[in-house]
Chains A and B, each alone.
Chain A
Amino acid sequence: MRTTTGEAKVAERTSLRKSFTVAAPREIAFRVFTEKMTSWWPLATHHIGKANAVAAIVEPRVGGRWYERGEDGSETPWGRVLAWEPPARVLLAWQITADWQCDPDFVTEVEAVFTATGPSTTRVDFEHRNLDRFGARAAEILAGFDSDGGWNGLLQAFARAAAAEA
């Protein structure tokens, strides 16, 4: 029998949660998180396009695109906007798989909820969930489906963990 506690435990293992407070009004926190993502995203090390990335862009509407822009003007998709509720909440679909490809059929959810705790302080409740979906996709790649032969990043982490277990 599945219990509520059991479900909660599953969620614990398949999602990441981070809560923290910033000294900023929630309108500003929301705007920096979305409109000014380029200012804080570690683009130098975390981009998937061929060109060096110069911007991380979240289009401000439901169904909007979430993508990086390269220095050569190219655009590489990361996902899309599932919910747009400024300044309270944004829900993004992270569609980058474990082999660093964007796949429109692959969705994990990234949510940020902004709660004012004072006139100029905001609590941010962040969650990246459905992480189990990466595993199934990694299995396909490891098994040779959709494989481009490149193993890197998350996939290597998987392979190492699997090897350690064997």
Chain B
Amino acid sequence: MLDALGEPTRRLVFERLAGRALPVGEIAGGLPVSRPAVSQHLKVLKDAGLVLYEARGTRRIYRANPAALEALRSYLDRFWDRALAGFAVEAEREARRQARKERERS
């Protein structure tokens, strides 16, 4: 069963496709599972909209769906922009507080 194969394998399969397109054989190379198992993982990823493929002759070349990665990236981008802006304000406030304390001490 798929879940017996382990989620980490599917994660590895997807990670191999980050930023490059590969045929099944090359994705499977070096992974501790059979090629049909890798194909099954690819099917799950494809059904979820996370990978795409194109047929080249008799081979299918898989790649990560850039739209899916981009959606995640822009979500986190907005989150960190906001959080880090808050951090900068607090760091500068804390620096002013410390400087004031030191002036009062001297």
**Contact (Cβ within 8 A) B76 A16:** yes
Known: A23-B95, A28-B95, A162-B50. A136 touches B13 (CB 8 A): yes
Contact partner of B77 (CB less than 8 A), chosen from A16, A28, A105, A122, is A16
| Complex contact A13–B69 (CB within 8 A) | yes
Complexed CA–CA distance, A162 and B71 (Å): 9
A162 touches B48 (CB 8 A): yes
0/1 per residue, A1-30, Cβ < 8 Å to B? 010001001100110101010111100110
Q: B55 — which chain A residues lie within 8 A by C-beta?
A: none
Closest residue of chain B to A157 (Cβ to Cβ) is B71
Which residues of chain A are within 8 angstroms of B98 by Cβ–Cβ distance? Answer: 25, 28
Contact check, A145 vs B69: say whether CB atoms are below 8 A apart. Answer: no
Q: Is the interface of A mostly helix, strand, loop or mixed?
A: helix
Write the nearest CB–CB distance from A146 to chain B, whole angstroms. 7
Q: Which residues of B contact A151 (CB under 8 A)?
A: none
The CA of A31 and the CA of B91, in the complex, are separated in Å by 8
Q: Does A74 interact with chain B (Cβ within 8 Å)?
A: no
- CB-CB under 8 A for A20 and B82, given A10-B18, A137-B11, A161-B70: no
Once the chains bind, are B71 and A132 in contact (CB under 8 Å)? Answer: no
- Apart from A142-B50, A143-B2, A159-B49: 16 A-B pairs, beta carbons within 8 A: A10-B20, A13-B73, A16-B76, A16-B80, A22-B87, A36-B94, A40-B83, A135-B72, A136-B15, A138-B48, A139-B44, A161-B49, A161-B68, A162-B49, A162-B68, A163-B49
